[in-house]
A and B are shown apart, each in its own frame.
Chain A
Amino acid sequence: MIEFTIMAWILALLAAAAAIYAVETKDLISSAIAMGVASLVVSIMFLLLQAPDVAITEASIGAGITMAVFVYAIGKTGRWEE
């Protein structure tokens, strides 16, 4: 049980750090990748909380498709936030 708590805390802190970095950075590509990392960490959290179906969805949509849509959109506009 204690291992679960430690792992959950590490994952939660990682997700929070990635989310804050995604908001604060000026480089939009890094921001999109940080969002993907946050989604991936949250999907591992879902797996630990015994919701594998939600974990599959979060991993493929959050870390895959959403990030690709963002990267395509950033490629069409500008990379740096003003």
Chain B
Amino acid sequence: MRKLAGIVIAGIFFISMMMLFYHLPASHDLSSNEYYYRNPINGSVANESIPEHYIKYTKNETGAVNAVTAIVVEYRGFDTLGEVTVLFTAATGVSFLLSLAVRGRKREEANLILKEGSKLVLPFILLTGAYIFIHGHLTPGGGFPGGSVVASGFLLMMLAYPKFFMKDRISWFESAAGTAFVVIGLLGLVLATSFLQNFIPVGTPGQLVSAGIIPLIYIAIGFKVGSELSAIVNKMKEVQG
């Protein structure tokens, strides 16, 4: 009986997911979208849909070559703040629950190949992660992928060295990065027109120093995601079984 109910629920979910495909732009003409782009500053409505606006004007308006990043951080920056808050809440919940458990560390040695190999590979993993979030406005990637690559580097260290231990001071990074995100947003409110509005000149698209606040926000998100995920994994490792 429970299996039947499960199959029915999964079937309903599957059908509604399939119905979603009908609304994807591939089967529709982009211009037939009824939602037109409204300028947030003067309120004028353009005679084109939101996707069309993003494709045409992203590079001039934000200076970012990577349109996905421009949408995530600039046009939909407030949503990204919400996403970061969700991750922060999850990390806080994990560390609160696991702080009630007994802490203790098993000290089993990993084998030689893992220990020496991880020493060799770790700098490159951290470099790749930093590259992904610093170049977020130029190449595919950004704060979330970069931060998770950095965290997987620390995960490798935790696997190779059971004594490897992240101090609680790592939460300073997390708080500082989160605060930096909100402060940059508030500076946009003060110096420009709205929260998370760009207030730095956009520069030449394609240069490393361009796109205004996008690289700054993505560096903050990269640090935040990296430190949060490594803290979660570290807390899981520290609990005594």
Contacts and interface: CB of A to CB of B under 8 A. Distances in A.
Q: Are A and B co-members of a single complex?
A: yes
Interface of A: 51-53, 56-57, 60-61, 64-65, 68-69, 72-73, 75-77
A53 B159 contact: no
Interface in B186-241: 229, 232-233, 236-237, 239-241
B68 to A, nearest CB: 7
B11 interface: no
Given A65-B229, A76-B241, A52 B155 contact: no
Contacts of B232: 65, 69
Contacts of A72: 233, 236-237, 239
Interface string B141-173: 110110011011001001100000000000000
Contacts of B229: 61, 65
Chain B, interface SS category = helix
B140 A65 contact: no
Contact of A69 (B68, B145, B148, B236): B236
A52 B236 contact: no
Nearest to A62: B148
Contacts of B144: 57
B132 interface: yes
Interface string B61-73: 0000000100000
Given A52-B140, A53-B141, A75-B241, A68 B148 contact: no
Contacts of A73: 236
Closest 7 CB pairs of A and B: A76-B241, A56-B145, A52-B140, A64-B152, A72-B236, A53-B140, A60-B148
A53 B142 contact: yes
A68 B141 CA distance: 23
21 contacts: A52-B140, A52-B141, A53-B141, A56-B140, A56-B141, A56-B145, A56-B148, A57-B144, A57-B145, A60-B148, A60-B149, A64-B152, A65-B148, A68-B155, A68-B158, A69-B232, A69-B236, A72-B233, A72-B236, A76-B240, A77-B241
